[in-house]
Copies of this chain bind each other. A is one copy, B any other.
């Protein structure tokens, strides 16, 4: 739990906004490449999360990385909705988050003509 990535997501889940802000560099950048959206600065990033609709809950599935580059796989549950969140974090020397790039891959149907050895229907699981 001393890992800044774990502390960050635990603070988000707890809506511990002061702690969330304390783990972010003041000029951090938040990016959503799929929708080409960006937020600049921790004040707006925290405000975005404070205002975010829905009773969402985060569960960290995997954290990989070393030093300043980390990748995180999360499950985000909002009522009956279960989403996957893949986040790429950059940390500075003090362990503060300077960049957070968030992906939200959605369920999809396979393309036609998959080969027969492609099994289908297992449940989306994190491990």
Contact = CB atoms under 8 A, between A and B. Distances in A.
A79 interface: no
Contacts of A121: 36
B37 A117 contact: no
The A contact surface, by secondary structure, is mixed
Interface residues of A, number: 44
Interface string A94-127: 0000000001111111100011011111111100
Copies of this chain present? 2
A26 interface: no
Given A39-B119, A120-B35, A105 B104 contact: yes
A122 B108 CA distance: 25
A67 to B, nearest CB: 9
A117 B39 contact: yes
Interface in A43-102: 44, 47-48, 51, 62, 64-66, 69-71, 73, 84, 86, 88
Contacts of A66: 64-66
B103 A84 contact: yes
5 contacts: A33-B105, A48-B117, A65-B66, A103-B105, A106-B108
